[in-house]
Amino acid sequence: MVKIFIDPGHGGTDTGATGYGLREKDLTLSISKRIQTILLNEYNGVQVRMSRTGDQTVSLSERTNAANAWNADFLLSVHINASGGTGFESYIYIGNYPSRAATNEKRNIIHDEVVKATGFIDRGKKEADFHMVRESNMQGVLTENGFIDNAHDANLLSQTSFLDKIARGHTNGLAKALKLKKNHSEQVSITSSSNGKTNDNDDEKYKVNKTLDGYVTAADAKAEVNKKTTVKKGEYYVFNRSQGMINVTKEKGTPGSWINPKNNSGVKTPSTFLIRVKTAELWYYNKPDWNAREGKAKKGDVFTVVDTLTVNGSKMYELKSGTYITANPEYVEKV
Mean pLDDT for the chain overall: 86
User: Is the CA virtual torsion 81, 87, 88, 94 positive or negative?
Assistant: negative
User: 68 and 171, same structural domain?
Assistant: yes
pLDDT confidence of residue 35: 93
Is 202 inside any structural domain?
no
User: 164 and 38, same structural domain?
Assistant: yes
The Cα–Cα gap between 249 and 228 comes to 14
pLDDT > 70 in the chain, percent: 91
Angle (CA) 243 249 251, round 5°: 145
User: 17 and 78, same structural domain?
Assistant: yes
pLDDT confidence of residue 265: 67
User: 42 and 108, same structural domain?
Assistant: yes
pLDDT higher than 70, residue 192: no
User: 153 and 34, same structural domain?
Assistant: yes
Instruction: Report the run of H or E that residue 157 belongs to, with start and end.
Output: helix 151-157
Please say if 144 is a catalytic residue: yes
Is 178 inside any structural domain?
yes
Give the residue from 113, 148, 182 where a domain finishes: 182
How does pLDDT run across 52-64, given as a tens digit for each residue?
988 899 999 999 9
Is 228 inside any structural domain?
yes
User: 163 and 34, same structural domain?
Assistant: yes
Is 196 inside any structural domain?
no
User: 250 and 129, same structural domain?
Assistant: no
User: 45 and 158, same structural domain?
Assistant: yes
Is 281 inside any structural domain?
yes
| pLDDT band for position 246 (cuts 50, 70, 90) | confident
Is 221 inside any structural domain?
yes
How many independent structural domains does the chain possess? 3
pLDDT confidence of residue 264: 81
User: 56 and 38, same structural domain?
Assistant: yes
How does pLDDT run across 214-233, given as a tens digit for each residue?
887 777 788 888 777 888 88
User: 250 and 137, same structural domain?
Assistant: no
Least confident span in 71-85, 122-136, 184-198, 278-292: 184-198
User: 160 and 13, same structural domain?
Assistant: yes
pLDDT higher than 80, residue 183: no
Is 190 inside any structural domain?
no
Residue 212 is part of which domain span?
207-263
User: 6 and 155, same structural domain?
Assistant: yes
**Of the residues 24, 42, 113, 144, which is catalytic?**
144
pLDDT higher than 90, residue 267: no
Q: Comparing C-alpha atoms, which of 228, 230, 218, 229 is closest to residue 307?
A: 218
CATH of the domain at 285: 2.30.30.40
Q: What one-letter code names the amino acid at 39?
A: L
| Dihedrals phi, psi of 255, to nearest 5 degrees | -60, 140
Is 191 inside any structural domain?
no
